[in-house]
Every structure is written in structure tokens, then in C-alpha cells.
């Protein structure tokens, strides 16, 4: 008897197949975020989902297959975010649009934190096809910063590509630490401050007179 046909698998009412699969993927996101990819087990996922091992194997061959699907979802969202970022130009509403990008990046970073951490820490399972997709997504996000930097026309001895890479590192690492269990940073204030800093340093924007940059919770 195959794992997918086990009598222990949770019965699925007609029309609710996608809901059960979604429950497992959401549980996978939570488990990978909590334990990391290497330490997460199938039992962690099914416990989080409140379902059975047989039900898990109905949809996924193993933990790696689940991670593969979640990685694909993450990379698609990263590419979409990069498309929006690349279209940003240093106009009057640039700071507001930049802040919206930061908020959306934060939401994606929180949702896929376990997946992103596995790739940035080089502990993701070896899969050439998926690794190529990861490179494409992360490189596209980095190079997307080149568009607004070039459009600003700010003089610099540092190549645009290097400035874009540094800016990505700033955005990624700040959100990583701001969302850690030891942080008391106010995320909304962080995004306000970060948008101003990025506009000043990379896009040539000014700061309103009398403004204060604050990221703390007080």
C-alpha cells in the first residue's frame, strides 16, 4: 500500500483538497521559521498542521519536496517585488513608494523567513534547478535597486551594481535583526527612517526640516 493511500490519511470533503494542502504549506512555513530547515521534521509539520503523517505524504514525498514548493512560491514573490522596485524613480512620491516597498519586503521576509534563511545560510537542499531559480530571484532583487540609483544620477565613485548590492544587504540584514526575538524595534518607525536614509544616501533626496529619525519603540 502506498503512503498516499494509507487508511490513516485524513478524509478530504469534496472541494476542500486545496484547503488541506494549504494547511500543510502554512505549517511548513511556520516549522521552518521556528526550527530552521535542517532541524525541521515531518512530524513538526504535521503537528503544526494538526493532521496525520499519511495526509502529509498524500501531498508531499518528503520534507524536501515541501521546501521545494515553498521556495518556488518565495522566489515568485521576490521577482514580483523586484519588478516594482525597478520601476521606482526619484520623484515626489518616491519616499512613500519606497516605504511601501519596505513594508511589503518585510511581510515577505516574515512569511518566508525559514525559506530565506535556509538559502542565505547555504543549508537548503542541493537541487540545481531550484538553486538556479534562487540565484535568479535574489540577483533580480539586487539589480532592481540599480534602476532608481541610476535614475537619481547622484555622482559616486562606487559602481551602481556595488551600491545596489550594498543597499540590498542593508535592507535584508536590518529586517533580519529587527524581526529577531531580541529586538524591540518599532517596524513602522524603522520603515519611515529607512526610507529617508535610502533616499538620502542612494537616490539623492533631502530630509524635511526639523525631522528626527527614530526606529525605537519609544
Residue ranges of the domains in the chain?
3-61, 64-202
Contacts of residue 137, Cβ cutoff 8 Å, sequence gap at least 6: 74, 75, 76, 78, 79, 82
The pLDDT of residue 65: 94
Task: Find out if CATH 3.20.190.10 is the number for domain 3-61.
Answer: no
CA–CA separation, 147 and 87 (whole Å): 7
Stretches where the chain sits below pLDDT 50 are 1-7, 14, 207, 209-211, 213, 215, 218
Q: Helix axis angle, 17-35 relative to 63-86, nearest 10°?
A: 90
The pLDDT of residue 209: 47
Fold designation for 64-202: Tetracycline Repressor; domain 2 (1.10.357)
Residue 179, φ and ψ in degrees, nearest 5: -95, 5
CA–CA separation, 95 and 89 (whole Å): 10
SS3 188: helix
CA–CA separation, 94 and 195 (whole Å): 9
The pLDDT of residue 102: 95
Phi-psi region of 48 (alpha: psi -120 to 50; beta: other; left: phi over 0): alpha
- Outline where DSSP puts E strands in the chain: none
The pLDDT of residue 12: 55
Q: What is the DSSP letter of 112?
A: T
Cell numbers 469534496 correspond to what residue?
A: 14
**What pTM was estimated for this model as a whole?**
0.79
The pLDDT of residue 13: 53
The pLDDT of residue 64: 93
The pLDDT of residue 10: 54
Q: Which helix (H) or strand (E) holds 23?
A: helix 17-35
Cell numbers 521606482 correspond to what residue?
A: 88
Say whether 64-202 and 3-61 share the same fold.
Answer: no
CA–CA separation, 195 and 155 (whole Å): 20
Amino acid at each position: 500500500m502506498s503512503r498516499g493511500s494509507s487508511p490513516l490519511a485524513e478524509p478530504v470533503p469534496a472541494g476542500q483538497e486545496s484547503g488541506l494542502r494549504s494547511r500543510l504549506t502554512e505549517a511548513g512555513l511556520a516549522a521552518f521559521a521556528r526550527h530552521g530547515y535542517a532541524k525541521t521534521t515531518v512530524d513538526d509539520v504535521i503537528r503544526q498542521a494538526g493532521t496525520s503523517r499519511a495526509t502529509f505524504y498524500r501531498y508531499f514525498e518528503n520534507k524536501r519536496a515541501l521546501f521545494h514548493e515553498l521556495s518556488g512560491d518565495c522566489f515568485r514573490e521576490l521577482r514580483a517585488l523586484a519588478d516594482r522596485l525597478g520601476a521606482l524613480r526619484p520623484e515626489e512620491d518616491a519616499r512613500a513608494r519606497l516605504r511601501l516597498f519596505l513594508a511589503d519586503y518585510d511581510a515577505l521576509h516574515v512569511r518566508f523567513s525559514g525559506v530565506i534563511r535556509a538559502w542565505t545560510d547555504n543549508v537548503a537542499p542541493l537541487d540545481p534547478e531550484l538553486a538556479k531559480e534562487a540565484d535568479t530571484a535574489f540577483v533580480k532583487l539586487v539589480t532592481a535597486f540599480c534602476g532608481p540609483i541610476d535614475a537619481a544620477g547622484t555622482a559616486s565613485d562606487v559602481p551602481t551594481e556595488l551600491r545596489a548590492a550594498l543597499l540590498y544587504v542593508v535592507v535584508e540584514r536590518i529586517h533580519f535583526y529587527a524581526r529577531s526575538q531580541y529586538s524591540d524595534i518599532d517596524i513602522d518607525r524603522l520603515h519611515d527612517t529607512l526610507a529617508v536614509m535610502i533616499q538620502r544616501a542612494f537616490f539623492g533626496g533631502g530630509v524635511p526640516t526639523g525631522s528626527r529619525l527614530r526606529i525605537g519603540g519609544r
